[in-house]
C-alpha cells in the first residue's frame, strides 16, 4: 500500500509544478518578539551552565543505523591531518634524495673535475730546446672522449724535428681518458727571442662525453718563461765621421750563441734617408736590405759588408738599425721573432778633401762629347780641414764600353792597363807628400772614346783620393774623398738629299738638262743616317725657290707637309733607332727663266735636322747643303746636265 501512496504523492507534486495560474498553499508567518537579549561586554568566557547528562541510548530492534552515527566530524578532521603529515614526509624525503644525488651522485661533464697543467723551465737560452710537460687528470665518474690537447706557442718557435718549420698551434689527439686516469704528455720545441724577453705558452683541452655532441673546453694556467740569452750576437761597425758624398763600408758580424745549429736566419737593415745603398757582400737575398743565412753552426760567424754613399749636411747624424731573427713562415720578408738588434751611428763632417773633376772645363756629373773628340780631364783636390794631410794618393778608375786603353794620355802618374787605373802617389809625384790646410793640388790626363762602339758609347771616370791625418777619437785615420763623372758620346745623325729624273719612284717629264721656260720634274729623295744612340722627334726642314713648284706627290717614312705661303717643307721622321736609316721622296717641278740660262739652279735649299738623343738627353742637329739640278752621273749625263740651256738643241 505504501508504494501506491508514494506514487500518488509524486503525481501530485508533478501536477503542482506544471500547473499554471493556481495559487499554492500559504505558509504560516511568525511575528517578531520584543524580548531583550544580553550581549557580552568582555572577552572572558562566561560560565557555562551544567548540561544534563543524557541517558545512554536504548538500542532496540527498531533503532536504525543512521540514528547511531549522528557525529562524523571528528573522524573527517583526523583523516585530513594524516594526509598533511604524509605529504610533509614525502617532501622531506624528496629533498633528502635530491641532496644526496647532488652531492654524491654523477656529474659527467663538469670541467671542474678535469685538471690540466703545463710545467717547464722558468728561463731558457734562445735557440735552445724547451722541454714542456703537460698533465691531464679526469676526476669525473665517466670517461671523456675525443680529447684533443691544444698548445699555442709564442711567435718564432720552431719544430725540433723539422728544421726551420715555425710552430704556431699544435693539436695532439688524446682519444679517450678514463675516469680517474692521468696522462702526462711531453712536448718539445725550439724557442727564440731577445735576451730577457718574456714568452708565454698556452695549453688547453677539448673533449666530449658519451651521448652528447657538445664540445667542452678546459684551459690550463699559462706557462711563462724568460729568454736568458740571445741565440745570436750582432755587431755593426763603421766610420763615426763621414764626409757627405763619401762611399763607406758598414761591417756587420752575426755570431752564433746557440748550442744547436741555426737555420733560416733573416737579417734586416733599416737605412736612413741619407744613406744610398751601392752593394753588399754577400748580395742581398731580397731588395737591398735583407740577407738570409741558410745555416749557422754553433760559435760560427757570418760577415756582411754593406757599401753605400752618405749624403747630408754638415753635423747631420744618422743611424742604421739592424735586426736579426726568424722569418715569418707566412711572410718571409718579415720577422716572426727577434734574436738581437744592433745600431751603428755616424755624423756628417766637412769633406776633408774637396775633390772636383772637370772634363773639357765642365764640372758636371755627366758630360756629353762628340764622336772622335779627345777630352782633357782635370782633377782638383783641396784640403778643407784645419789639419795638414800627409801621403796623399789619387786613383782614377776608368771603365765603360767606349773606354780604350790605347786612347788614355796621362801627363804623369802610372797607368795600369790590366786594372784600367791611373795612380798618383808619393812615389811618382812628390807634391803629394802633404797638403796644408786650404791647399789645392791639380792632376790631369786625357781620354778619347773608342770610335768602334756602335751603341750608347760612354766612359766612366771615378776618382778616389786618400790621405792620412793625426788620429782623433772615433775618427778614421785614413780618409777618403771621391768624385765621379760619366763621359757620354752623343749620337751624330746626318741628313743627305739627292735629285734625280729617273722614273724609279715617280714618273718625271721635261728636258734634262733643263731648258728655259720649259718645266722639268724631279724626284727629291731625303735620307737620315742615325748615329750610335736612339733619337726621337727627328724633324727635317727645307724650302723651295720661287721657280720650283710643289706637286704634292710624296712617298716614304713619316709625314711631309708643305706651306705655300713660306714655301717651306717639313719632314717629321719620328723616332729612329741607333745606326738606323729612314727615307722619304717628293716630286717638284722646275721652270727656269731666261735669266737662269747658263746657271745650275737650286731645287731645294739647305736641309736641317733636329732631334733628341735619348741616351744623352741632348738636342742633336745636322745640316746639308742645297741640292741643285746637277745630276751628271745619272743615265750617262755629263757634268753639264744641270745647266739651264736656251733650247734643247744647245
pLDDT in tens, 253-289: 998 888 788 888 899 999 988 888 999 999 999 889 9
Asked if the model's pLDDT at residue 68 lies above 50, the reply is no
Average pLDDT over residues 30-54: 55
> The domain 111-229: what is its CATH number?
2.60.40.10
Residues 6+ apart with CB under 8 A from 576: 493, 528, 530, 534, 535, 536, 538, 582, 611
Sign of the Cα pseudo-torsion (123, 125, 126, 129, in order)? negative
Average pLDDT over residues 163-177: 83
Out of 51-60, 336-345, 511-520, the most confident range is: 511-520
340-381 tens-digit pLDDT: 888 888 888 776 778 899 999 998 999 999 998 999 999 998
CA distance 196 to 126: 10
Res 104: pLDDT: 47
Asked if the model's pLDDT at residue 125 lies above 90, the reply is no
Q: H-type helices in 27-157, by residue range?
A: 65-68, 73-104
Asked if the model's pLDDT at residue 611 lies above 80, the reply is yes
User: Which residues is 241 bridged to in the sheet?
Assistant: 347
- List the domain boundaries for the chain: 111-229, 232-349, 353-489, 494-636
User: Which residues is 340 bridged to in the sheet?
Assistant: 324
CA distance 609 to 629: 22
Contact 456, 532 (CB under 8 A): yes
Q: Predicted confidence band at 61 (pLDDT cuts at 50, 70, 90)?
A: very low
CA distance 398 to 461: 5
Asked if the model's pLDDT at residue 480 lies above 90, the reply is no
User: Which residues is 320 bridged to in the sheet?
Assistant: 344
Res 31: pLDDT: 57
Asked if the model's pLDDT at residue 627 lies above 60, the reply is yes
Res 35: pLDDT: 53
User: Which residues is 434 bridged to in the sheet?
Assistant: 390
Who has greater pLDDT, 113 or 461?
A: 461
Nearest Cα residue to 617 out of 531, 529, 541, 536: 536
192-245 tens-digit pLDDT: 777 788 889 999 998 888 777 888 888 888 989 888 777 888 888 887 777 777
Contact 480, 464 (CB under 8 A): yes
In DSSP notation, 91-111 reads HHHHHHHHHHHHHHS--TT-G
Of 38-47, 234-243, 526-535, the least confident: 38-47
- Which CATH topology does 494-636 take? Immunoglobulin-like (2.60.40)
Asked if the model's pLDDT at residue 158 lies above 90, the reply is no
Give percent above pLDDT 70 in the chain. 82
Q: Predicted confidence band at 559 (pLDDT cuts at 50, 70, 90)?
A: very high
Res 102: pLDDT: 44
Beta-sheet pairing, 478-489 with 246-256: unpaired
The DSSP symbol for 332 reads T
Asked if the model's pLDDT at residue 536 lies above 60, the reply is yes
Res 52: pLDDT: 53
Among the CATH numbers 2.60.120.10, 3.40.50.10190, 2.60.40.10, 4.10.91.20, which is that of 353-489?
2.60.40.10
> The domain 232-349: what is its CATH number?
2.60.40.10
- Residue 500 sits at φ, ψ, to 5 deg, of -145, 160
Q: H-type helices in 276-412, by residue range?
A: none
Asked if the model's pLDDT at residue 246 lies above 50, the reply is yes
pTM: 0.50
Give percent above pLDDT 90 in the chain. 38
Amino acid at each position: 500500500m505504501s508504494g501506491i501512496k508514494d506514487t500518488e504523492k509524486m503525481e501530485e507534486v508533478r501536477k503542482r509544478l506544471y500547473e499554471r495560474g493556481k495559487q499554492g498553499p500559504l505558509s504560516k508567518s511568525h511575528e517578531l518578539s520584543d524580548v531583550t537579549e544580553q550581549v557580552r561586554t568582555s572577552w572572558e568566557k562566561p560560565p557555562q551552565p551544567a548540561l544534563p547528562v543524557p541517558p545512554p541510548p536504548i538500542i532496540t530492534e527498531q533503532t536504525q543505523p543512521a540514528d547511531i552515527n549522528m557525529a562524523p566530524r571528528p573522524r573527517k578532521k583526523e583523516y585530513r591531518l594524516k594526509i598533511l603529515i604524509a605529504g610533509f614526509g614525502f617532501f622531506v624525503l624528496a629533498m633528502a634524495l635530491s641532496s644526496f644525488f647532488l652531492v654524491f651522485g654523477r656529474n659527467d661533464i663538469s670541467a671542474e673535475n678535469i685538471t690540466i697543467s703545463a710545467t717547464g723551465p722558468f728561463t731558457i737560452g734562445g735557440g735552445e730546446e724547451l722541454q714542456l710537460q703537460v698533465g691531464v687528470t679526469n676526476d669525473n665518474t665517466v670517461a671523456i672522449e675525443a680529447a684533443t690537447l691544444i698548445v699555442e706557442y709564442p711567435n718564432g718557435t720552431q719544430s725540433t724535428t723539422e728544421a726551420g718549420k715555425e710552430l704556431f698551434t699544435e693539436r695532439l689527439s688524446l682519444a679517450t681518458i678514463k675516469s680517474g686516469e692521468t696522462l702526462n704528455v711531453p712536448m718539445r720545441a725550439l724557442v727564440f727571442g731577445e735576451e730577457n724577453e718574456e714568452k708565454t705558452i698556452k695549453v688547453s683541452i677539448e673533449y666530449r662525453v658519451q651521448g652528447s655532441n657538445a664540445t667542452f673546453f678546459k684551459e690550463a694556467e699559462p706557462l711563462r718563461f724568460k729568454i736568458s740569452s740571445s741565440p745570436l750576437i750582432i755587431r755593426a761597425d763603421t766610420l763615426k765621421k763621414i764626409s757627405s758624398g763619401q762611399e763607406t763600408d758598414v761591417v756587420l758580424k752575426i755570431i752564433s750563441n746557440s748550442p744547436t745549429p741555426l737555420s733560416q736566419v733573416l737579417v734586416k737593415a733599416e737605412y736612413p734617408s741619407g744613406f744610398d745603398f751601392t752593394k753588399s757582400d754577400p748580395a742581398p737575398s731580397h731588395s737591398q736590405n735583407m740577407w738570409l743565412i741558410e745555416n749557422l753552426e754553433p760559435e760560427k760567424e757570418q760577415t756582411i759588408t754593406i757599401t753605400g754613399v752618405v749624403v747630408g749636411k754638415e753635423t747631420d747624424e744618422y743611424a742604421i738599425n739592424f735586426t736579426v731573427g726568424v722569418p715569418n713562415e707566412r711572410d718571409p720578408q718579415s720577422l716572426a721573432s727577434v734574436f738581437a738588434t744592433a745600431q751603428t751611428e755616424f755624423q756628417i763632417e766637412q769633406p776633408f778633401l774637396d775633390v772636383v773633376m772637370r772634363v773639357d772645363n765642365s764640372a758636371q756629373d755627366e758630360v756629353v762629347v762628340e764622336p772622335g773628340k779627345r777630352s782633357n780631364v782635370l782633377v782638383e783636390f783641396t784640403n778643407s780641414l784645419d789639419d795638414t794631410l800627409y801621403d796623399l794618393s789619387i786613383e782614377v778608375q776608368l771603365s765603360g764600353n767606349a773606354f780604350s786603353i790605347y786612347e788614355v794620355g796621362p801627363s804623369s802618374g802610372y797607368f795600369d792597363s790590366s786594372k784600367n787605373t791611373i795612380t798618383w802617389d808619393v812615389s811618382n809625384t812628390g807634391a803629394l807628400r802633404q797638403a796644408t790646410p786650404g791647399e789645392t793640388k791639380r792632376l790631369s790626363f786625357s781620354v778619347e772614346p773608342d770610335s768602334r762602339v756602335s751603341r750608347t758609347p760612354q766612359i766612366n771616370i771615378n776618382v778616389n783620393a786618400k790621405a792620412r791625418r793625426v788620429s782623433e777619437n772615433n775618427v778614421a785615420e785614413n780618409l777618403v774623398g771621391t768624385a765621379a763623372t760619366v763621359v757620354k758620346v752623343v749620337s751624330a745623325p746626318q741628313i743627305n738629299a739627292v735629285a734625280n729624273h729617273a722614273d724609279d719612284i715617280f714618273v718625271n717629264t721635261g728636258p734634262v738638262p733643263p731648258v728655259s721656260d720649259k718645266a722639268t720634274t724631279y724626284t727629291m729623295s731625303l735620307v737620315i743616317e742615325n748615329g750610335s744612340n736612339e733619337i726621337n722627334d727627328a724633324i727635317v726642314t727645307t724650302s723651295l725657290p720661287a721657280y720650283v713648284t710643289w706637286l704634292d706627290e710624296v712617298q716614304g717614312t713619316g709625314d711631309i707637309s708643305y706651306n705655300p705661303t713660306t714655301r717651306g717643307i717639313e719632314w717629321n721622321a719620328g723616332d729612329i733607332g741607333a745606326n738606323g736609316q729612314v727615307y722619304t721622296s717628293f716630286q717638284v717641278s722646275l721652270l727656269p727663266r731666261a735669266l737662269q740660262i747658263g746657271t745650275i739652279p737650286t731645287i731645294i735649299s739647305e736641309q736641317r735636322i733636329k732631334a733628341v738623343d735619348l741616351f744623352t738627353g741632348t738636342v742633336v742637329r745636322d745640316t746639308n747643303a742645297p741640292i741643285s739640278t746637277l745630276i751628271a752621273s745619272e743615265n750617262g749625263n755629263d757634268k753639264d746636265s744641270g745647266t739651264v740651256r736656251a733650247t734643247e738643241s744647245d
